[in-house]
Amino acid sequence: MQCPHYDAGRCHSCTLLEIDYPTQVLDKERHVAELLDPVSDGTTWLPAVSSVESGFRNKAKMVVSGTVAEPVLGILDRAGHGVDLTDCGLYPEALQASFGPLAAFVTRANLEPYQVSGTGKRAQQRGELKYLLVTLSPDGELMVRFVLRSQEAIARIRKHLAWLQAELPALAVASANIQPAHAAVLEGDLEIPLTERATLPMRIDDITLDLRPQSFFQTNTAVATELYRQARSWVDEVDPGSLWDLYCGVGGFALHCAAPGRAVTGIEISAEAVAAASGTVERLRGDGQADRFRDVTFAAGDATAFAVGPQGPDLPEMVIVNPPRRGIGADLAHWLETSGIDHVLYSSCNATTLAKDLAAMPTLRPVRARLLDMFPQTSHYEVLVLLERA
């Protein structure tokens, strides 16, 4: 992928851009194989799932800088100056086309870009709009989130929102997130809906997930589709009567792996994600799929606390874990190791912590694994591992 911003030194987010894409994938396969080598004797590695090299991201996180009259959407350089990335090659055309109307809306609604001058105790904050977060669904609809310093601009956003909807007909969901802290934290707890619709449908094969503003979803829809397909295939081979999906998010694994007669429980710390997953399963039951989703439930809670807590004799026959980059940690790994559960499906976005977790579960051996390149042009990737009790 050729990028004028990389060539000019304005943006080096794509750290592997100078390496041809097939080599990137091979290097990632070697990397994960080396990390898992101590615990992967006898593991069958399936061919890696590659991505398209550009235009694959379904979400844009745009820092807003510049002025009300001339806003800049993109990133900040090391000096704190805005870099326009509205033509970034990682974004598909539908996302790129949304940035012009959104920049014009910043001017129309008088949304002053957030900035800080000075340092230390003398640092002064001014402006309201920190980020624009834009998500594109597989069907071309958009979710736009305005990350604001305070609620001061809410009335102006509401006043001019009809103009933005006319200029951007794909806009389906809009909300404002209030993040008052001057810290490296993307968003705050308070989310204010601005449109009647509150969820963005993310259609993945025969499952349409309901994505709410504060819910996490994989940034590469095509590769996420392959991830869920592979998970469903391996789970169906094991054919458990009961399944836990820990760190379930909006229910991607739980819903794809649901089957008639299979009890599925999803646990997620984010109440917003659980509300989205619960809404999805209710809709699916009403769409004539009651048998498949009859025994699917979701609950908000800490995955480790749920598993390690007093569950009584009703342990599942299989567990899926899809933790953040820190991995599942010692407590949950120890519980899985001693639980007697025969099959675990581990989806990891950080092979280093995956290797550490697997080392803590020596009787749960990796029998199959597959790399899925969710993040071309970077060193990051996803890996799915099927563990079986030795």
- In this structure, what token pair is assigned to residue 53? 């090299």
Among residues 322, 320, 348, 341, the alpha carbon closest in space to that of 235 is found at 320
3 catalytic? Reply is no
A 10 A CB-CB count for 22 gives 10
Burial 296-316 (b: 16+ CB within 10 A, else e): bebebeebbebbeeeeeeeeb
Residue 35 has φ and ψ, to the nearest 5°, of: -65, -40
Tokens 């449109």, residue located: 195
Of the residues 3, 11, 88, 349, only one is catalytic, namely 349
Q: Strands 190-193 and 171-178, how do they pair?
A: antiparallel
99 in Cβ contact with 62 (< 8 Å): yes
Which tokens in the block code for residue 328?
């599942």
The answer to whether 142 touches 168, Cβ cutoff 8 Å, is yes
Active site residues per annotation: 349
